[in-house]
Copies of this chain bind each other. A is one copy, B any other.
Amino acid sequence: MNKPKAENLTIHIGEVDAPMRASRFGHEGAALWLTGLSGSGKSTVAHRVERLLIERGVHAFVLDGDNIRHGLNADLGFSPEDRKENIRRIAQVARLFVESGAVVLTAFVSPYRADRDSARALLPEGRFIEVFIDTPIEVCEARDPKGLYRKARAGEITNLTGIGAPYEPPLAPELRVDTSAHDLDTAAGLIIDYLESRGIVPAAR
């Protein structure tokens, strides 16, 4: 019988490795995991960074509520188990993008350290970059882009992170950005400077 063993033929048939991707694309893959309160500016900053990177030819992509909650995770609700599964899947998708050689940005409240640490554990050292969008809650509440703080104060929702549910701030984030202290391009620039300093994207200018 000439039947090959499954272990030999079906694992590691990939012909491309990370250095080959980086060489062809001109940048490394990495995940920028933005975490912070509702209204802190995660999505806005993520999309600005995405645009600035794409203008440089860097394959960047934002995962946020718009493209995840209505698609991959449309089957999930807001129970504790579903919130955990929501973050688990996002982390796994982020890992796939990093493996593809992209710079992926995730913009979710992701309030629990354990969930963020699980995401970090999926990626090689240095490829998970936790960005704490550390905007004061008073500023987030004044912005209230989704009307969630108003609803929480009115008692219409009971589990808003920062009001009725805990937010566990990162203990050692790679970056901390207060969007009330910087304009948008400056905030985005802090993140891009970090990527340059780590050799993930080449320095521009």
Contacts and interface: CB of A to CB of B under 8 A. Distances in A.
Interface of A: 3-6, 9-16, 20-21, 24-25, 43-44, 47-48, 50-51, 54-55, 57, 59, 61-63, 65-67, 71-72, 75, 85, 89, 92-93, 95-97, 99-102, 122, 144-147, 150
Report, nearest first, the 5 A-B pairs whose CB atoms are least far apart: A61-B100, A72-B92, A15-B51, A9-B145, A6-B146
A66 B16 contact: no
A156 to B, nearest CB: 13
A54 B21 contact: yes
Contacts of A92: 71-72
B50 A3 contact: no
A13 B174 CA distance: 25
Contact of A96 (B48, B61, B144): B61
Contacts of A93: 72, 93, 96
Contacts of A16: 47, 50-51, 54
A146 B4 CA distance: 8
A50 B57 CA distance: 19
A121 to B, nearest CB: 12
22 contacts: A3-B147, A6-B146, A9-B145, A9-B146, A10-B43, A10-B66, A13-B66, A15-B48, A15-B51, A16-B50, A16-B51, A16-B54, A20-B54, A24-B54, A24-B57, A59-B59, A59-B101, A59-B102, A72-B96, A75-B85, A93-B93, A102-B102
Given A145-B9, A145-B10, A150-B3, A67 B47 contact: no
